[in-house]
Amino acid sequence: MSSELSKLLSRIVDATREWEASFGEFGPHPDTGVDVERLGAVVDDLLTRLGASTPFFHPRYAGQMTRAPHPAAVVGYLAGMLVNPNNHDFAGGPATTQMEHEVVAELAAMFALPAHIGHLTSSGTIANLEALFVARQTHPGRGVLFSADAHFTHERMCALLEMPAHRVPTDARGAMDLDAAERLVRSGAVGTIVLTAGTTGVGAIDPIVDALTLKQQYGVRLHVDAAYGGYFALLTSDDELELEWDPAPWRAIRSCDSVVVDPHKHGLQPYGCGAVLFADPAVAQYYHHDSPYTRMFSGAPGHLGEISLECSRSGAAAAALWTTLQMVPLRRDGLGTLLASTRRAALAFARLVAQSSELTLYQRPELDIVTYFPSAPRTMSGVDAASGQMLSDGMFAPRSEAIFLSTLSVEAAGFRRRGHRLAADAPRGRILRSALMKPEQELCAAELVAQIAALAPVEQAAHRR
């Protein structure tokens, strides 16, 4: 943390004290006193324990879909947290409620939604739950369809909402098989199709453009789970040739019914901050409830508690996102520059893996997630064991050398569809997976791949695709 940021944090604490004092002095209750010396000892213990945390900020963290929050988000969150607003209603968070309306409008503009209603949530899971809740209300008695590689939360939320869940297979790049989807839709069993813009496994993008035809022909609802890939909507200009980019799926989102995006992923926010947006403001009717004690001001900005399944929600999350967007706006020349960097990092990383004798590229990355596996093993079980060993060896190396990866369990058929020749002595096997979410990884892609390759087994002759 820079000294400048430390000064800003101190300034926020001082400003909060001044704000509190403006309401007048009062005598504290004796039971609320804090033993500062004891608290200091607890903080020492806390900091020691936090020292065992995973270094999401470091470019050698090339594992799961997470990164450190932007300094502006840290500042905004702390400022909001000290005031502790509740964005359930305007009275609970008048300042942060207005901020939430503003940032949600900016997210809607990022997807070019012609109209919208929406709000922040505590996670992408809750955001998707809300989208499926509205889907149930608009298409009662009909099920939800999603791909076999969609996030597991959809099947879980369908069970919670008592909606039939239908999984359809994926193609050779991990995207939804739309022909299989249409066969189910034609039967009348499906009311909603969930399309993923960036699967959590390989980062695949479902055929959102082609799915619009199913919406037109059969009246199904289209929900886009863009929790991970949503911010790539900023890269929709026609001059993205260097990024090997097709902006069409993101442009098609404006014609869908709802979309979820997670600001705590590429939006540079701390956990947890998700968002759900609906293209039709009339869906507010499905949230109708009677809560007369939470609405105090006529003419106040839209009461967020009336369009949300959650009740109490942190206003600090809205303050953090609002502060960040003042510094890094949702434009191609704002946050889009960071997304372009992570995309270039993934392309460079993938090229280096493909050129390596120790590693084999599983499939070409569509976003900034790269999947690969050690080349030496010739069996599914061998790849699984070697991938697990590489994950462990990298993580538990000396701190100054440790590299953090993740694994993905894939079926034998997945290897075959991508042209990899392995003896299928096991039904599934783990491969390695890296979400390259930090722009710094564009600068050190060669070093990262070399370090990972050094972890790979070499005792057998490497097979190539």
Residue at 19 is within a domain = no
Residue at 32 is within a domain = no
The predicted structure's pLDDT at residue 51: 95
- Indicate the pLDDT class of residue 3, thresholds 50, 70 and 90: confident
308 and 207 both lie in a single domain: yes
147 and 226 both lie in a single domain: yes
229 and 90 both lie in a single domain: yes
Q: 366 pLDDT exceeds 80? A: yes
175 and 323 both lie in a single domain: yes
Cα–Cα distance, 85 to 98 (Å, whole number): 12
- Indicate the pLDDT class of residue 465, thresholds 50, 70 and 90: very low
Residue 49 neighbours by CB distance under 10 Å: 9
Angle at 318 between CA 17 and CA 292, to 5 degrees: 90
- Residues 382-394: pLDDT tens digits? 999 999 999 999 9
Q: Positive or negative CA dihedral for 119, 121, 124, 128?
A: negative
Residue at 218 is within a domain = yes
413 and 309 both lie in a single domain: no
The predicted structure's pLDDT at residue 293: 65
116 and 243 both lie in a single domain: yes
Cα–Cα distance, 165 to 380 (Å, whole number): 30
**DSSP output for 422-459:** -B-SSSEEEEEEEE---THHHHTHHHHHHHHHTTS--S
Q: Rounded to two decimals, what is the model's pTM?
A: 0.94
Cα–Cα distance, 80 to 261 (Å, whole number): 22
Phi/psi of residue 372, each to 5°? -160, 170
Cα–Cα distance, 144 to 123 (Å, whole number): 20
The predicted structure's pLDDT at residue 458: 85
Residue at 464 is within a domain = no
The predicted structure's pLDDT at residue 280: 95
210 or 240, greater pLDDT: 210
Residue at 53 is within a domain = no
Cα–Cα distance, 78 to 157 (Å, whole number): 32
- Residues 208-224: pLDDT tens digits? 999 999 999 999 999 99
- Indicate the pLDDT class of residue 238, thresholds 50, 70 and 90: low
Q: 434 pLDDT exceeds 90? A: yes
Residue at 213 is within a domain = yes
- Residues 72-97: pLDDT tens digits? 999 999 999 999 999 988 888 999 99
Q: 443 pLDDT exceeds 60? A: yes
Instruction: Using the 3D structure, point to which of 308, 327, 346 is the last residue of a domain.
Output: 327
- Indicate the pLDDT class of residue 462, thresholds 50, 70 and 90: very low
307 and 384 both lie in a single domain: no
- Residues 116-175: pLDDT tens digits? 999 999 999 999 999 999 999 999 999 999 999 999 999 999 999 999 999 999 999 999
318 and 445 both lie in a single domain: no
The predicted structure's pLDDT at residue 464: 46
The domain that contains 386 carries what CATH number?
A: 3.90.1150.170
The predicted structure's pLDDT at residue 294: 62
**DSSP output for 103-127:** HHHHHHHHTT-SS-EEEEES-HHHH
- Residues 280-328: pLDDT tens digits? 999 999 988 776 666 555 444 567 888 898 988 999 999 999 999 999 9
The domain that contains 143 carries what CATH number?
A: 3.40.640.10
- Residues 170-209: pLDDT tens digits? 999 999 999 999 999 999 999 999 999 999 999 999 999 9
Helix (H) or strand (E) holding 252: helix 248-252
315 and 414 both lie in a single domain: no
321 and 352 both lie in a single domain: no
Structure token pair of residue 370: 């790269």
- The total number of structural domains in the chain stands at 2
Cα–Cα distance, 219 to 202 (Å, whole number): 30
Determine the structural domain holding residue 202 and report its residue range.
Answer: 78-291+300-327
305 and 351 both lie in a single domain: no
184 and 223 both lie in a single domain: yes
- Indicate the pLDDT class of residue 1, thresholds 50, 70 and 90: low
Residue at 49 is within a domain = no
Percent of the chain having pLDDT more than 70? 95
DSSP character at residue 205: B
Cα–Cα distance, 427 to 415 (Å, whole number): 11
Query: If you average pLDDT over every residue of the chain, what do you get?
Result: 93
Residue at 29 is within a domain = no
315 or 4, greater pLDDT: 315
